[in-house]
Amino acid sequence: MKKQIVVGGFSKEQREKELEKIRAKYSKKGYTFIHYIDNGALKSVAIFEVDEEKIRKEKATNLILLGIFFMAVAAIMFYKASV
C-alpha cells in the first residue's frame, strides 16, 4: 500500500532537508521510500510503500492513546466535580 507524507517548507532547500528527516524517520518504521513530488510550499509529498499490517498497528496504537487521554481527562473532571 502506498502512503503519501506531506513535506513542508517554503524554499526548495527547506523541503529537501525535511525530506531527508522524513525518509530517515519512516525508514526506521519499516517504510520503503519510492519517490518525491515537489509541488511547492505545502503541496510536496514523499511517497512510501508500506505493509497494511503496519498501518493497522499504528492506527490501533493511536486509538488506544486517544482513549487513555480521554479517560484521564474524564477522571480529572470527575475529581474536580466531587471536591
- Stretch 54-64: mean pLDDT: 93
For the whole model, what pTM was predicted?
0.68
pLDDT score, position 9: 86
User: Residue 43 gets which letter from DSSP?
Assistant: T
SS3 45: strand
Query: For the chain, what are the domain ranges?
Result: 1-50, 52-83
Sort residue 30 into left (φ over 0), alpha (ψ -120 to 50) or beta: left
Q: What are the backbone angles phi and psi of residue 5, rounded to the nearest 5°?
A: -115, 125
pLDDT single digits (tens) 21-48: 999 999 998 899 999 998 887 789 999 9
